């Protein structure tokens, strides 16, 4: 079976059932619309296997997309100066979100759960805080503002996660910001295309 994101499987199954019923009871022209819709949804919500590199101090891209900027700026979540890598998610998927590092999920910020930080945190953003076993912090912030929103996070605070492991689903074409320690070594440049969970965007530096 063609791999589909697990969050979308019931939705895809429902469209498949409707397409079959439409084929049986409705004109072929009408049924064809549902079959085209099914193919489009399966394509957009595909979940293909990725080659995950073994890089103990590496940081891999959390999403498929293109680097839009690399800079230093204030990390509003951990209140620190940070290396900031901004990525524009691909509009046509895959829409999977992958853990950039191996370690533990230390915290999450949902837009509706941070009223005390209103004005201090970017509005309309969901963010995940990862901490490696070496004590390095990485924050992935996803801009959810816009008309069409798709967001599901499958990891909880305290849960361990592997580098490149799939940890959620989001879309469509969202801006993503990765905050890293200023000492991290950059491995990408603006305009570079990335595969989530596979391509290294930076590495932590120790010693």
Confidence at residue 119, expressed as pLDDT on a 0 to 100 scale: 58
Q: What's the pLDDT at 8? A: 72
Q: In this structure, what DSSP letter does residue 112 have?
A: G
Q: What are the residues whose beta carbons fall under 8 Å from the beta carbon of 50, sequence distance 6 or more?
A: 98, 164, 195, 196, 197, 198
Measured in Å, how far apart are the chain's first and last C-alpha atoms? 47
Question: What's residue 173's pLDDT?
Answer: 82
Provide the pLDDT for residue 3.
77
The residue to which tokens 């209103």 are assigned:
118
CB 190 within 8 A of CB 174: no
How far apart are alpha carbons 65 and 97 in whole angstroms? Answer: 11
**Which pLDDT belongs to residue 9?**
78
Residue 197: what are its φ and ψ, rounded to 5°? 75, -10
pLDDT by 10s per residue, the chain, length 207 = 567 777 777 888 898 899 999 999 999 998 999 999 988 888 877 777 777 777 889 999 999 999 999 999 999 999 999 999 999 998 877 788 999 999 999 999 988 655 555 557 888 889 999 999 999 999 999 998 876 677 788 899 999 999 998 888 887 788 999 999 999 999 999 999 999 999 999 999 987
Torsion angle (degrees, nearest 10) of CA 195, 100, 88, 203: -90
User: Residue 114: its pLDDT value, please?
Assistant: 53
Q: Which residue spans within the chain are E strands per DSSP? A: 58-60, 65-75, 80-89, 96-98, 103-109, 125-132, 137-143, 150-153, 160-161, 166-171, 175-181, 185-186, 193-194, 200-203
Phi and psi, residue 72, nearest 5°: -110, 135
- The residues that bridge with 139 in the sheet, in sequence order, are 129, 179
- What is d(CA 165, CA 172) in angstroms, rounded to the nearest whole number? 20
pLDDT at 53: 72
* Topology, domain 58-203: Glucose Permease (Domain IIA) (2.70.70)
* Residue 57: predicted pLDDT: 92
> pLDDT digits over 72-83, tens only?
999 999 999 999
């Amino acid at each position: 079976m063609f791999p589909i994101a697990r969050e979308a499987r019931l939705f895809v199954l429902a469209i498949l059932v409707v397409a079959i019923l439409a084929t049986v009871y409705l004109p072929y022209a009408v049924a064809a619309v549902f079959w085209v819709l099914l193919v489009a949804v399966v394509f957009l919500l595909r979940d293909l296997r990725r080659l995950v590199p073994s890089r103990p101090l590496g940081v891999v891209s959390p999403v498929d997309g293109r680097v839009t900027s690399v800079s230093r700026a204030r990390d509003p979540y951990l209140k620190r100066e940070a290396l900031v890598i901004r990525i524009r998610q691909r509009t046509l998927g895959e829409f999977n979100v992958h853990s950039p590092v191996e370690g533990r999920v230390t915290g999450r910020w949902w837009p509706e759960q941070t009223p005390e930080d209103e004005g201090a945190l970017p509005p309309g953003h969901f963010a995940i805080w990862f901490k490696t076993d070496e004590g390095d912090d990485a924050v992935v912030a996803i801009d959810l503002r816009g008309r069409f929103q798709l967001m599901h996070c499958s990891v909880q605070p305290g849960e361990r996660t592997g580098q490149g492991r799939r940890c959620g689903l989001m879309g469509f074409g969202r801006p993503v910001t990765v905050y890293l320690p200023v000492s991290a070594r950059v491995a990408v440049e603006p305009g570079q295309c990335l595969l989530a969970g596979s391509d290294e965007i930076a590495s932590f530096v120790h010693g």
